[in-house]
Amino acid sequence: MPIVINGSGTITGVSTGGLPDGCVDADTLAGNAVTSAKILDGTIANGDVNDLAASKLTGSLPAGMGGKILQVVNMKTSSEFISSSSTWADSNVTLSITPSATSSKVLILVTLASCGAWANDTHLRARLLRGSTEIHFLESLGGDTDSSAKNYFGSVSGSYLDSPSTTSSTTYKIQGSSVLNVSYAAFNRDNSLGDRGFSSMTLMEIGS
């Protein structure tokens, strides 16, 4: 077929591959002319991908990605928790995370600092909750004290792997109590030198 330059501004008769190599540059292509249908599968290299929005990461993770840490959040506080009651009470050790998939697990790491108990052989109790549900009993520690002595036993640490099965914001918190209603137990408590540690919580989302 002969090549015809029409008066309407079009050219006909050019066969596929008829133009010399290298004669079409980026400016020659019309805006939005290249669609996914024109891109050969497997031809885009990793180096050509500059960024990927988190909203595009949907569905199941590719094989081999299980067990990857997807996000980490952390908090710490020196706010004192003290109890003279056997009734559970909220502390300021609390943190929220929003899992990216219902199949994700959440690894909870907790450290309670400057723990102590005094009077009548009491114990400090601590438990971990997801929302209002107890999921792990963290510790029950104390000392053989008399009616006035104080016993400081340093830091208490614990961990728990949870399966919240949600993509909604999920709150974890520590509650504490004293074993005896007339005795005291605490963490983030000043010692005799006025020293006080920081309690902390770290949440890690683990991909399935």
Q: Is residue 61 part of a domain?
A: no
* Domain, as residue range, for 95: 69-206
pLDDT of residue 70: 95
Is residue 156's pLDDT more than 90? no
Is residue 152's pLDDT more than 70? no
Q: Is the pTM of this model over 0.75?
A: no
- Residue 192, domain CATH: 2.60.120.1340
Is residue 104's pLDDT more than 70? yes
Q: Count CA within 13 A, CB hemisphere, residue 138.
A: 28
Of 63, 141, 47, 54, give the one whose Cα is nearest residue 99.
54
State the chain's mean pLDDT as an integer.
82
Residue 146 pLDDT grade (very low, low, confident, very high; cuts 50, 70, 90): low
Instruction: Supply the DSSP symbol for 8.
Output: T
Burial class (CB in 10 A: 0-12, 13-18, 19+), 205: buried
Is residue 192's pLDDT more than 70? no
User: What's the rounded Cα separation, in Å, for the pair 134 and 35?
Assistant: 52
Instruction: Supply the DSSP symbol for 55.
Output: G
> pLDDT (tens digit, 9 = 90+) per residue, 119-144?
666 778 899 999 999 999 976 665 55
Q: Which residue has the higher pLDDT, 170 or 146?
A: 170
Q: Is residue 154 part of a domain?
A: yes
Q: Is residue 179 part of a domain?
A: yes
pLDDT of residue 180: 77
pLDDT of residue 59: 61
The domain total for the chain is 1
Q: Is residue 185 part of a domain?
A: yes
Q: Is residue 63 part of a domain?
A: no
Q: Is residue 131 part of a domain?
A: yes
> pLDDT (tens digit, 9 = 90+) per residue, 53-86?
766 666 655 555 567 999 999 999 999 999 888 8
User: What's the rounded Cα separation, in Å, for the pair 66 and 62?
Assistant: 8
Q: Which residue has the higher pLDDT, 40 or 75?
A: 75
Q: Is residue 19 part of a domain?
A: no
Q: Which residue has the higher pLDDT, 28 or 110?
A: 110
Mean pLDDT of 82-107: 94
User: What's the rounded Cα separation, in Å, for the pair 120 and 181?
Assistant: 10
Q: Is residue 33 part of a domain?
A: no
